[in-house]
Amino acid sequence: MVLKIIISARGSSDLFPLSRAYYPKELLRIGKRTSLLQRAMTRFGEAVQKKDIVVVTHEKFLYQVRAETESLRLEGMHVLSEPDSFGTAASLALAAAYCRQTQKSSDDELLLHIPAGLWIDENVNLAEILAPYEEKARSGKILLFGTDQFPAVPEQADWESGIMRSGRIFLCTVGAAEQEMKRCFPEAVPVMHAGRDKAVKVMSEIADVAQKDFPDSRSDNVETVMLPELSSDAVRNLEDALRLCGDDSGDCAFGDAVTRSCRNTSIIGGRRLVAAAGLSDMMIIDTEDVLLVARKGYSRDVRDISDQLKAMRRTEAFEEKTLYFEWGWYTNVYEDEGARVLKYVVRPRERINLQAHYDLSKTWNVISGTGKAVLDQEEVLLEKGKRVLVDRGVWYHITNTGHEPLVFMATQIKL
């Protein structure tokens, strides 16, 4: 089956404290070593070439998504960023524009859209399930797929609440998608023929259309198909996530956790030991900066707490301890009012651009890797065991000159 796979990783923070505004649920490793996004990217195995997979994500997740592809060595896969959380119509139009520009995709090439946040049983052979529908899709039909748990045409209440919007799986040709766009969203059609940068600009100018979802199940050219053999589910809240990775009794424990006499209790531990005894219908999630203890059935209240923290501008509602950049990432190891300790990881041949801080003094201690730093006009070699003092006001940049990650600890003192 020859087709382009469009994976939308739009981002959702509905699983606080596991996911945040800048750390979406698609990046979570729910009971597995791989994230939901990584599972989506590898779902087709050898049936689809990596160069035929396009991930569309919000620009604030771009470097995290790239890190996900790099950790699995998925060279050749394409990652596109959009400046806002557009709907599936925009994701499809941007991906189609990119495929036409870079891979010379023709109108009869097949496109399959699948959301990264949708949990699909890893034993399901999706390529095999969809193969019988290839001929109908090539005839010009747009096939919208659903299951008993995740219908192609959800109830209106579910649709309006946003539960089902990002879960659309559909198959069609590039040409059929364009014809349907002309009927439903004619303003978006120029996007499909523009270069990637121009496509994003045009889509941003028609924001009301960009938020629309595709395809419209009421269209005569859209056919809904139920796939009972496709074992899938929506990961809408913490309880969904914990249920999918728990046992028949509803219990699950990950990380450093010890339990006794607990029933239907889920624990996700972090660096600290979590011990629990005699609990029923509870969930305990311990991250590096948040401890959540809640009774199952109160996910709506947890979401309200997340919204409250956002309104208070609490960092915990927006960021995890690790932030990603083009050059790599850093993790906030320790912080108080006057000091902070960060662990930096700079990718091979990447560079932290020129900068200076007038209210901080810094000390770097190199853990591994090799590189160089330029402090004002002085060049300093970075290698394991090297300690470098950076006074406030000093302009510097750092380059990883080796073939392995450059890792160092940075202690910052506020002056």
The predicted pLDDT at position 80 comes to 82
Domains, the chain:
4-234 (3.90.550.10), 238-316 (no CATH), 322-414 (2.60.120.10)
How far out from the chain centre does Cα 109 lie? 26
Burial profile 125-145: b = 16 or more Cβ within 10 angstroms, e = fewer: ebbeebeebeeebbeebbbbb
Q: What is the pLDDT along the chain (415 residues), one digit of tens a residue?
A: 456 777 777 655 568 888 887 787 788 776 667 888 888 888 888 888 888 888 888 888 888 888 888 877 777 788 888 776 667 777 777 788 888 877 788 888 888 888 887 777 777 888 888 889 999 999 999 998 876 555 555 554 444 444 444 457 889 998 888 888 888 777 777 777 776 667 666 666 665 665 667 777 778 888 888 877 776 556 666 777 777 666 555 677 878 889 999 888 988 887 889 999 999 999 999 988 899 999 998 888 988 998 999 999 998 888 778 888 989 999 999 888 889 999 999 999 999 999 999 999 999 999 999 999 999 989 999 999 999 999 999 999 999 999 999 999 999 999 8
Nearest to 277 by CA among 265, 291, 292: 265
Nearest to 237 by CA among 16, 79, 51: 16
Three-state SS for 331?
Answer: strand
Nearest to 350 by CA among 411, 280, 397: 397
The secondary element (H helix, E strand) that includes residue 42 is none
Residue 54, phi then psi, degrees to nearest 5: -120, 120
List Cα–Cα distances, 87 to 44, 117, 177, 222, in angstroms. Answer: 24, 14, 15, 18
**CB contact at 8 A, 181 and 192:** yes
The predicted pLDDT at position 383 comes to 96
Model confidence, pTM: 0.76
391: left (phi > 0), else alpha (psi -120 to 50), else beta? beta
The residue behind tokens 């380059």 is: 399
The predicted pLDDT at position 246 comes to 61
- The order of strands in the sheet holding 378-382 is 351-355, 396-400, 371-375, 378-382
The predicted pLDDT at position 280 comes to 92
The predicted pLDDT at position 403 comes to 93
The predicted pLDDT at position 384 comes to 97
The predicted pLDDT at position 249 comes to 59
